[in-house]
Amino acid sequence: MRRTLAEKILAEKSGEEDVTPGRIVRCPLSLVLANDITAPLAIKAMAKMGADAVFDREKVVIVCDHFTPNKDIDSAEQVKFCREFARKMGLVNYFEGGDVGVEHALLPELGLVGPGDVVVGGDSHTCTYGGLGAFATGLGSTDIGAAMALGETWFKVPPTIKVVLTGKPAPFVGGKDLMLRLIGLIGVSGALYKALEFTGPLAASLSVEGRMTMANMAIEAGGKVGLFAADDTTAVYASAHGRQNAPLLAADPGATYEREVVIDATNLSPQVACPHLPDNVRPVEELSSITIDQAVIGSCTNGRIEDLRVAADILKGRKVAKNVRLIVLPATPGIWKEALREGLLEIFMDAGAIVGPPTCGPCLGGHMGILAGGERAIATTNRNFKGRMGSLESEVYLASPAVAAASALTGVITHPSAI
């Protein structure tokens, strides 16, 4: 049987011969993840299940990244609860202090996830690891509690949508723009219950960071996973991050896809998702009358070193517009230090930005950049639901780091080439 990438990984890991879409397979897990919001419920679920141990203390990972550094007493209590569990279970990979990064940037950087892995996380953006060729998806806390105890879960094999990325992108057009374009085309439920598989010449030429940005937002189209083949580029990344001999993986030629969507980068402008859904996507030029109060560069979508370099290039020697707050949150301590070494943080500070610690913070309206009623932000994050970054009367526009940086300089949504 010729298999899509999703079917191939599930067949390999589950040992099942029949992985036609719709089949339910039980699958052992390479890694189980939770964060400071979802772990407490998962831990309580484990207790209800009568499970007094995790299946593997190296493969159950808790990253306290959402409301950290703890924003209030309640969030401190949640983190304390996670910490006590991690100590009791002897978890090797527990993060809460100076080692915390935004989970989906941190785990690939530490080599905890890699090609061919099957990963579940108590966080919807767990699909990020599809950029490395891992079948990775978000689940709720009770599913995660069961997975922590058993080291396995069930999946319904998803049908796959083939996304062919082609054409030569203009300057300032990258993974974020391609993904927003796709979500704009197929809609926020366009890949509901399905796998997205990214192929084509442009997919092959994207960096692993760009691939992770795209895979990250598979969930914004309703997708279960967003997968890239694991190729030589992946192997170089994996090996640099402590995963030697990572397998090369690709779909079988002639595999069956539910549908094919072509995203042509030729003549594509930077894309922006307008309030209040990620599929409300328009080219940046059409939004030049939209003023902003805040710009956020960071998150599991676009807080990686490549993103910070793009932003710094635009901000270098310039000043953020008066009355605009630019918040830069490098996604991991590793990225923070690299940005420091390369002088990027100084460029941000000189431009008038606020440089904060690695945290999910403002992306989900947690802290470190909440919007008041009537305020508007442009953000490199992944969701622009009503009230996502603060007041129900605030607005979030989603864009690339280049567009966010350019817009911070002018105070209106701006094409980076205009700077």
Partner 1 sequence: MFHGKAHKVGAHIDTDAIIPARFLVTTDPVELGANCMSGLEPGWVEKVKKGDILVAGENFGCGSSREHAPVAILGAGIPVVAAHSFARIFYRNGFNMGLTLLEIGDGVEKIKDGDELRVDADAGAIENVTTGETIPCAPVPAFMREILEKGGLAGYVKDAIAKRA
Binding site for partner 1 (CB under 8 A): 24, 37-38, 40-41, 44-45, 48-51, 67, 72, 74-75, 77-78, 121-124, 126, 138-143, 145-146, 149-150, 154, 188-189, 192-193, 219, 222, 224, 277, 364-366, 383, 385-388, 392
Cα–Cα dist 233/275, whole Å = 35
Residue 149 vs 308, nearer CB to partner 1: 149
Which of 394/407 has CB closer to partner 1?
A: 394
Shortest approach of partner 1 to residue 332 CB, angstroms? Answer: 21
- Between residues 210 and 365, which has the closer beta carbon with respect to partner 1? 365
Q: How far is the CB of 72 from partner 1 (least distance, A)?
A: 7
Can you give the three-state secondary structure of the chain, one letter per residue? CCCCHHHHHHHHHHCCCCCCCCCEEEEECCEEEEECCCHHHHHHHHHHCCCCCCCCCCCEEEECCCCCCCCCHHHHHHHHHHHHHHHHHCCCCEECCCCCCCHHHHHHHCCCCCCCCEEEECCHHHHHHHHHCCEEEECCHHHHHHHHHHCEEEEECCCEEEEEEECCCCCCCCHHHHHHHHHHHHCCCCCCCCEEEEECHHHHHCCHHHHHHHHHHHHHHCCCEEEECECHHHHHHHHHCCCCCCCCECCCCCCCCCEEEEEECCCCCCEEECCCCCCCEEEHHHHCCCECCEEEEEHHHHCCHHHHHHHHHHHCCCCCCCCCEEEEECCCHHHHHHHHHCCHHHHHHHHCCEECCCCCHHHHCCCCCCECCCCEEEECCCCCCCCCCECCCCEEEECCHHHHHHHHHHCECCCHHHC
Nearest in space to 118 (alpha carbons), one of 52, 195, 171: 195
Residue type, position 105, single letter? A
Closer of 29 and 409 to partner 1 (Cβ): 29
Nearer to partner 1, 17 or 74 (CB): 74
Report, in Å, the least distance between residue 49 CB and partner 1: 4
By C-beta, is 188 or 296 nearer to partner 1?
Answer: 188
Q: Based on CB atoms, which residue is closest to partner 1, 67 or 135? A: 67
Nearer to partner 1, 114 or 223 (CB): 223
Measured from the CB of residue 170, what is the shortest distance to partner 1 in angstroms? Answer: 31
In whole angstroms, how close is the CB of 51 to partner 1 at the nearest point?
Answer: 6
Q: Cβ 199 to partner 1, closest distance in Å? A: 23
Question: In whole angstroms, how close is the CB of 113 to partner 1 at the nearest point?
Answer: 17
**Residue among 125 and 325 whose Cβ is closer to partner 1:** 125
Give the shortest CB-400-to-partner 1 separation in angstroms.
21
Least Å from the CB of residue 296 to partner 1: 15
